[in-house]
Each structure stands twice: as structure tokens, then as C-alpha cells.
Chains A and B, each alone.
Chain A
Amino acid sequence: MDVGLLSGLANALTLANIGFALVGCLLGTLVGILPGLGPASAMAILLPVALYLPPTGAIIIMAGIYYGAMYGGSTTAILMNIPGEVASVITAQDGFAMTKQGRAGEALAIAAIGSFLAGIAGTLAIAIIGPKVADLALRFGPPEYFGLVLFSMTALVSFAGRSIFAGLMLGVFGMWLASIGTDPLTGTQRLNFGTLELMRGFDIVPVLIGLFGIAEVLASLEQRIEQIYAGKLGSVLSMIPRGAELARGLVASARGAVIGFVLGLLPGMLPALTAYLSYDVERQLSRTPEKFGSGMIEGVAAPEAANNATAMAGFIPLLSLGIPTTPALAILLGTLMINGLTPGPMLFQQQALLVWTVIGSMLIANTALLILNLPLVGLWAHISRVPYHVLGPIVLAVCVVGAYAPRNTMFDVWVAIAFGIIGYVMRRLEMPLAPLVLGFLLGPLFEQSLRQSIALQGTPAIFFTRPIPLALIIAAVLVLGVTLWLRRRSRAVQGLIRDSTNET
């Protein structure tokens, strides 16, 4: 059959399909902005609707929600230090710093532009390389994952803050938290203290809502913040970054997109993880790594591009092998199946028009999202000037609903409140949150891949006899060495600067 991207694009441009794409984008943006309500819950809620719609429309809407949420998630992260999406946690670090400097517009704009570039590049990559790289998802067995997770863990050191030891302990604490509840592999109970609710373990959403959303509100109340940014915001046009800053942002977006896309082909590499890793890469490459966290545009551009690229990349193993790489894509898989569409190479042949229409609609949806998000930049940016006694209670209410939504249980609301207090205390003690979150995200992958690998061969030797794990382990050691060396050097340099200023 002679159906390709162009005919798909043409079909995606029918009024109905544009409508579906727009609805998906709007819903996705909304879901992204609301903390807690993630794409997976929104897609699950919409699943019944998908039974009524024509298959193409259902899939276009679902896909739109998924990547629309990646756009929207950055908004609240940047404006209020409350990530609307797990994938935007790291964006808050520099994004919120920029807002406090009155540069919310620049941060929002580069997040939207970075997401757009990654979305378009990702779509083209799906169209051009498509099924050819899907095999990567299969080739990664437990030992390969273990190598990858170990490599990702080197980021813990650079997120550790002032004390490496304290940072690592926080990472371990995060992994420990993630291990509470039912062992995902054998169903054994761990650390539930005989309570029924702890059997479920801690879900990432309420934990993050507490650590970031509720803790942020508590901290703001204590500091008697009247509004996040008291100065004036310029016009929409003046908010878009330009010149050297725009260039730096675009380069970082491109790197973030590549990292996000490649890792996004692998199951389990959540957009949140690739966002963290790309942020870390930017900091390692930067000449001024110490400025990260105080409003670097790269720190916003890279993770936002990465999480979007990861979202796009996931469609390759999903459509060609039926492998969902994230929970949200698992629901999309369900939507495909209910409509009688079995993913696989046959799908590309038998349902070529449908597949290409969906891919074509990604181009439209990403363009729509950019159009949707850029003019809104000014509007959103004004949120930073809303009096906090109005904003705070709204945020708290949204947090509580968001904590409840993913698993429909009150327990998660209590978890969010408890972690709100923990997050607040950590802020007071100036402990970094990033290692805790990273540990929480990596912990389950680390444990599973380690246990499964050893079960496969009976000994840990499996990590050294296979090329991919071995290469990743060596890379991890190298990165760790370089990071530690850089830290020492920058501390030495800082010491020198301090000494020299003391002398004068």
C-alpha cells in the first residue's frame, strides 16, 4: 500500500481529526497544569469515551493528552515551584528561579519552544526510523537495565548539593520509600507494619505533590510571601528570550530531545527520568555548573525537550511491538486493542492510513500546542502576580484532589500531607529534594533488574559478560570519577576566589 506521512497528514487535516487533536491538546495542557492529575489518570477517565469514538479519533485524543501534558506540566513548575507533572519536577529548579527574577515569560517560552522542537523532531523520527529501532526495547533485558540504572545513578552525586554523603543518603531514603509495600515481583510484603494501606506502597504522585506542592505552600505562608513576583511583567513579545540566551536554550533543547528520544525507546525510562538525566548532562557540559538552580535557561529547556521527546519515542515500541514504555502508554495500548487494532508490523500494513493519520496528527497537535502555549505565556506569567492568599488555598485544594485521583484512595491524600511536612522540613534544613525523587524513581528499576539478572544466570557475573551492561558500568565509573573531580576543583576555585576577596 502506498500510504505515507503525506497522505496521513492530509487525512489528519480533516475537520474532525483537527478537532480531536485540539481537544486532546487542550485536555492534555489542563491535565499537565493541575498537579497530580497526570496523563495516565486522565486517559483512564476518558477510556469509556474512546469506546464511542471512531478509532482514529480516540487515539488522536489520547495521544494528544499524553504529550499535551508534557507541555502543560512545566507551567506550574515554573510559576509556582509546583510541578504539574512528575516529568517537570526538575524544570522547577531553574524555572522557578527565573520566575522570581521576573523572567517567567522567558522560562515558559523556552519550555514551550523546547517541547515543540522535541515534539516535531520526535514525530519525524517516528515517521522516518519508526519500527527499525523498536527492537531496542526488546534487546534490553534485565542486565542491560541494571547497567542503565547504575549509570543513571551517577546523577545522584551531582544532585547531592553541598554534602555528597547527605545527598546519597537522601537517594537511599528515596529508594527505601519506593520499596515499601508489596514486592512487585513476588508479592511478598515489606515494611507495611501490618497495615492494609501500606501494602499498596507509596505512589509517586502523592509523594511529589506533598514534597513540592504542599511543602511549597507551607514555606510560602511562613515567609509571608504576598505574591511570587511583585515587579512588572512586560508584553508577551518581550517575554520571549532572544539573542545568546535563546541560542543557549535551543542548543540545550536539541541535546535534551536526543537524550529523551533515545532513552524513551526503552520501557521504564519514564519522561521524569530522562528529564533528570538531560538536566544533569547540561550541568556537566556547562562552563558555569554552579549557576544551575539559580535560573539557567538550559535547566528549563533541556528537561522540557527531553520529557516531550521521551513521550514521542514511546510510540515506536508501542505501535510496532505492542510494548508500552510508560503507564500512560499502557492505557493507549488498551484503547488500540478495544478498537480491534493489534499493534505490530501488520498494523503499519493493514491500517496504514490510521497509523499515518495518527502520526500526521502529532505534527498538527504539536503546532497547536505551541500556538496554544506561546500567546498564553503572558497570561500564565501573570499568575506569578496573583496575591498568595488567593493562590495558596487554590493550590492546596488542587493538590488534595490530585493526590486522590490516581488510585482513588484517601490514604494517598494523607501520604501527600505527610510528605508536605517532610518537604517543608527538608527545605528548612536546606536539604536537596532531587536525590530523594531520583532515588524514588530509580529504586524499583534498580531492584528488579538486579534480582532478575541474578536469577537469570545465578551469579552477578552476567553484568561483566554482556557488552551493554559492561560498557554502561564502565561509563558510570568514569562519569562518577569526573563528577567528583569537578566538584573538588570547583570547590578549590571557589576557595581561591574567597581567599582573594578576603585579602582585598
Chain B
Amino acid sequence: MLRAVIAGLLGLVLVAISATGVDAQAKYPIKPVELIVPFVAGASTDSCARVIAQVLEARWGVPVRVVNKPGGNTVPAVTEVMTARPDGTTLLVDNIASSAMLDTVVKNLPFKVSDRTFVAVMAYTPMMFIVHTDSPIKTLKEAAEALRKGTETFTWTSLGGVGAQDMVFRRFAAATGVDVSKTRAIALKGGAEAVTMTAGGHVQLGTGTWSAIAAPLSAGKLRVLAVAGPERWPKLDAPTTKEAGFADIEVSFWIGISGPPGLSADIVATWDAALKDVLSDKSVHEKMLNAGVVASYQDSRGMTARVEEDRKTTQTLFGR
């Protein structure tokens, strides 16, 4: 009798073990997921990651943690994800600058950007051209004129090469027919500082995204010359670059999620499906918009293509 009970119990345990084993294979995720953000907390890439993490945590029932690992021009954090086990527990949330621009501007990276498994684009926000309210420049055409006439003394906000700010200005300079290396690039630490510098009237032309621009704009310190996107920005009376006479300057600062090389197709599919669903949710849209970005889903293939395209643009613009 006792033996039969023990055998029965053993059998149950075995069944239970094998059942969870099957479960583990069938259902990703069962372990906590870490979303590594190579920037400080509070910036738009981080806010976006946190909105998604919160929704997915509720959906999946496993912890989805955002871990900030700032510093070193994103290289240490990205390297950490690149060398992590491709089991879907360590993923990266970053943006156009660190995924599509970094390898052109910074030499000798310890990894190849194209090795990453790109999962999905989650959101974007268009770059905008801004000037100080007292600036004599009223339109993007006038900015181009000022740039052509006073190339050698023209000051603009740069993030030292790696930034959508640099991409959009370089495209503007290319459209104007001006050699960027002759202008005065004022290198700054980050996008927020670029806007503050413009709002203080210290540079002639600035660029930035809505999250940084909104406050000084409402304080009457800034004028938006043009939105470098296909559509106007809601609640903002400013033309698109196309309307302002610069047809092909469209640069969007996008935020995406990616993983280590060799992330399995199943895991990518799980994320793609979940994100597609989550990103069509109205309340998520609203939260993203609060963080200054527009929720916009693009699947793994779409993101891979996007990174390639932006890398090509960067290589052309930076002449490499």
C-alpha cells in the first residue's frame, strides 16, 4: 500500500515536472524579463520602455523590469546585451542614435550592429527645427539663407555626431549646399541641453523633439520653424519640412526593441504579437504621447530594414 502511494506520488511529481518542462518550451516568457536602457531614467527612450514594461507585465504575469545602464556612449550597455544569452530575458530598448548611427560615427565598436536581432519599433517622434523667439530667422528658408551667407559663423546644436539632431542638421546643410565641417557645431551632452541652449538664444539654429521643446515653447522662448516629418505635429502651428520647401528632410527619432544575436524566431514572434496588440491600445497611445512620442508599431523585418536605411543615410551624410 505504502509502496503504491509512493509510486503514485513519484508519478505525479514526474508528470508535474515534465508538464512544467513542456510549458517552459511552449510559453515564453516564464522568467523575469530585463529591458536594458542605455540612457538615464526619465528621458523619452526610458519613459517609452517603462510604459511598455508596465503593460506587458500585466499581460504576461512575469516581471518586466527596466534597467538603466547609462554612460559610455551606450557601448557598454549594448555590449552587455549583445553578449547575453539569447533566451529572451535580456533585451535592449534604444533608439535611432545608438542603433543606426553609432557604428558610422564611432570606430572600433566591440560588436557589429547588424548582428543584433531587431524585434520591433515601438514609437517615433519627428525632429523639429527651432530658433529663439527673438531670432531674425522666421522660416526654414530664412535659416537656409543665413546658413549660406554666414556659413563660417553659423552655430547649431550637435550631439557630437551620434544623434538625430546631427542627422537632421546635416541633411538640411546638404539640401542648402553647405559644407557642415565649415559651420560651428556646438557639441552638447544631450537633446534636452540642445533645446535649452536654443531657448537661451546662445545658438542660431537648434533641433529637438517635442518632449524637450514643449515647455520652453509654451514659455514663449522658442519658435518652431518646421517639423521634419511627413505630417504636422498636433497642437502645433508649424509647417512640415516639405511645406517649408525642403522636400526630403524627414528625420524621425524612433525607439525600438532588440535582442542579442540569435534570438529565436519564437521569442521574436511572441514580442511582435504582444507589441502589435499593445501598441494599438488607446491608453498606451496616450501615455506614449505624454512622453513626447507617437506609438507606432513596426515588426522585426520592418525594424531591420529601417536600421539599414538609416545607417546608409548616416554613412552618406558623414561621408564614410
Contact = CB atoms under 8 A, between A and B. Distances in A.
Interface of A: 40, 43-44, 47-48, 51, 134, 137-142, 181-188, 196-197, 199-201, 203, 267, 320-324, 327, 330-335, 337-340, 342-347, 407-409, 448, 451-452, 455-456, 458
A267 B197 CA distance: 11
B160 A183 contact: yes
Interface in B202-247: 202-203, 211-212, 214-221
A293 B139 CA distance: 59
Given A141-B201, A200-B76, 6 more contacts: A40-B41, A51-B51, A321-B221, A330-B40, A337-B47, A407-B68
Given A138-B221, A331-B41, A187 B202 contact: no
Interface residues of B, number: 58
B47 A452 contact: no
A337 B73 contact: no
A455 B162 CA distance: 18
B46 interface: yes
A344 B50 contact: no
Interface stretch (B123-131, B182-190, B257-265): B182-190
B46 A340 contact: no
Contacts of A48: 50, 53-54, 66
Given A187-B73, A448-B189, A44 B79 contact: no
Contacts of B43: 330, 334
A408 B286 contact: no
Interface in B30-69: 40-43, 46-47, 50-51, 53-54, 66-69
Given A186-B161, A451-B187, A323 B196 contact: yes
A140 B200 contact: yes
A47 B189 contact: no
B106 interface: yes
Contacts of B319: none
B188 A452 contact: yes
B42 A455 contact: no
Of A267, A327, A334, the most chain B CB neighbours within 10 A belong to A334
A181 B71 contact: yes
Contacts of A456: 155, 184, 186, 202-203
Contact of B290 (A188, A339, A455): A339
20 contacts: A40-B41, A44-B68, A138-B199, A141-B202, A182-B71, A186-B160, A197-B76, A200-B76, A201-B71, A321-B216, A323-B216, A330-B40, A334-B46, A334-B47, A337-B211, A337-B290, A342-B214, A342-B215, A342-B218, A456-B202
B72 interface: yes
Nearest to B193: A267
Contact of A182 (B40, B51, B72, B218): B72
Nearest to B162: A187
B79 A196 contact: yes
B320 to A, nearest CB: 15
A455 B72 contact: no
A331 B71 contact: no
Given A181-B72, A184-B189, A456-B184, A322 B215 contact: yes
Interface string B124-154: 0000000000000000000000000000010
Of A140, A183, A187, A456, the most chain B CB neighbours within 10 A belong to A187
Contacts of B201: 138, 141
A331 B47 CA distance: 10
Contacts of A184: 189
A58 to B, nearest CB: 13
A51 B42 CA distance: 12
A331 B186 contact: no
B47 A200 contact: no
Contacts of A347: 218
Contacts of B69: 407-409
B287 interface: yes
B104 to A, nearest CB: 12
A83 to B, nearest CB: 22
B71 A338 contact: no
A186 B221 contact: no
A86 to B, nearest CB: 16
B105 A187 contact: yes
Contacts of A40: 41
A196 B110 contact: yes
A456 B75 CA distance: 29
Contact of B72 (A199, A321, A332, A334): A199
B192 interface: yes
B218 A345 contact: yes
B249 interface: no
A186 B190 CA distance: 11
A182 B221 contact: no
A334 B75 CA distance: 24
Contacts of A196: 72, 75-76, 79, 110
Contacts of B197: 141
Contacts of A203: 71
A186 B196 CA distance: 18
Of B76, B184, B290, the most chain A CB neighbours within 10 A belong to B76
A407 B41 CA distance: 11
B256 interface: no
Contacts of B76: 196-197, 199-200, 409
A335 B70 CA distance: 19
Contacts of A200: 71-72, 76
B287 A138 contact: no
